[in-house]
Amino acid sequence: MAETRTEALHQNAEGLDIQAPEAVLSSLANAQIEAANAVHGAIPAIAAAAEIIASRLKSGGKLAYAAAGSSGLMALADALELPGTFGIQRDRIAILIAGGEEAFKTLAGGPEDDTEKASAAVAAADIGKGDCLIAVSASGSTPYAVRAIEDARRRGASTIAIANNRKAPLLRLADIA
């Protein structure tokens, strides 16, 4: 498998541990600016995703997140904000994280490859027609997230994918990416 941008060492990371704090902070700030600029190009897809999510929730559907590892933690943080910020009932939000609750204690690599557990999680959350699933994967190829989006789509749910690599399989599988 070819190395993706998200799996490669950033050019400015070499020797980071021996650089002056100002240089490290400058590098981090520049990376944040680069990330913010990348969002600009994604505005049409983000807007379309927001409209689909709002439509499904207004119609009584559920919103589910499927992810693994650090992406799972970001999905969890987003999901936990929804009830307080938007008044969405907690029972209409499903968080499907590879490794389950144990993933909150240790980010082990194995569960992200367990596609059977992804399928089981989608079924257990009863994700289907009228619902929406957001799959999050930095690489866009995490087997857990890919299987979750495949199963959710097969069950009739609207699907949204978030990944950092433009040609990622996850992005090709989603209704909106």
pLDDT tens digits, 85-100: 999 999 999 999 998 7
Is 150 a catalytic site residue? no
Q: What is the side-by-side strand order in the sheet with 158-162?
A: 93-97, 63-67, 132-136, 158-162
Average pLDDT over residues 124-140: 97
Pick the CATH number of 43-173 from 3.90.1640.30, 1.20.1440.80, 3.40.50.10490, 2.40.50.1070: 3.40.50.10490
- Whole-number pLDDT of residue 113: 77
Active-site residue, 14 included: no
> Cβ-count burial of 160 within 10 angstroms (0-12 exposed, 13-18 middle, 19+ buried)?
buried
- The answer to whether the CB of 175 falls within 8 A of the CB of 146 is no
pLDDT of res. 118 = 96
Helix (H, G, I), strand (E, B) or coil at 69: helix
Q: Residues 58-116: pLDDT tens digits?
A: 999 999 999 998 899 999 999 999 999 999 999 999 999 998 777 767 665 667 778 99
Candidates 7, 14, 51, 81; catalytic one: 81
pLDDT of res. 107 = 64
What's the chain's average pLDDT? Answer: 90
Q: Where are the domains of the chain?
A: 43-173
